[in-house]
Amino acid sequence: MKKNIILSLSAIIVFTLLAISCKKDDEAAKPEITLTEVGHENSKTAMRGDDMHLEADIVAEGLVKRIDVEFHKEDGSYEIEKAYTEGKYIGVKNTEFHEHIDIPEEAPLGEYHLHFSVTDQEGQTTTVEAHVQVVEYDEHEHHDE
Ligand SMILES: [Zn+2]
Ligand SMILES: [Zn+2]
C-alpha cells in the first residue's frame, strides 16, 4: 500500500517535471482580459466624489505580475492611476478582478479613457480600453456593490 503511494507520487513528479520542461520552450500566451463591468451594471459612467465599480475576467498563462488601471481625460489634462502589484490577483493564472476605483471630487466632468493593463511574469502586457463618462455626484445613483 505504502509502496503504491510512493510509486504514484513519483509518477506525478515525473509528469510534472516533463510538463515543466516541455513548457519552457514555448512562451506563455499573452494575458487575456475581458472587461465585464465598467461602472455599476456596465453603465460606463462614474460619479466624481464616489468610486467606480470595475470588473474584469483575466486569464494569464504566464501568471499575473501586475495590473494597472489608468483613467485619463481625453485631452490628457487629468489622470487617475491605480496599480495592483500584490494580493489575490498576483501570481495566479485565472482571476476575476473586482475593485472600486476612487474618483476624486475635483475630477473634471466629461469623457475619460480607461486603460486596463495586465502584465504577466514573462513581461508580456495586454491592455484593453473603454470610454467612461464622469458625471456629477448623485446620492440616488450611489451603489455599494
Ligand atoms: Zn463592485
Ligand atoms: Zn487613452
Q: What is the CATH number of the domain that holds 80?
A: 2.60.40.2550
Q: What's the gap in Å between 2 CA and the centre of ligand 1?
A: 49
Residue at 95 is within a domain: yes
Residue 15 belongs to a domain: no
Print the domain residue range for 90: 28-141
Q: Parallel, antiparallel, or unpaired: how do β-strands 64-73 and 110-120 relate?
A: antiparallel
Residue 130's pLDDT is 97
- How many domains would you assign to the chain? 1
User: Which SS3 state, helix, strand or coil, does residue 3 take?
Assistant: helix
In a domain, 51, yes or no: yes
Q: Is residue 114 part of a domain?
A: yes
Number of Cβ within a 10 Å radius of residue 95: 18
Mean of pLDDT values over 79-95: 98
pTM above 0.85, yes or no: no
13 domain residue, yes or no: no
Question: What is the pLDDT confidence band of residue 144, given thresholds at 50, 70 and 90?
Answer: confident
Using DSSP's 3-state secondary structure scheme, residue 56 falls into strand
Structural domain includes residue 1: no
Ligand 2 center–CA 104 separation, angstroms: 19
Q: In the numeric block, which cell numbers belong to residue 37?
A: 463591468
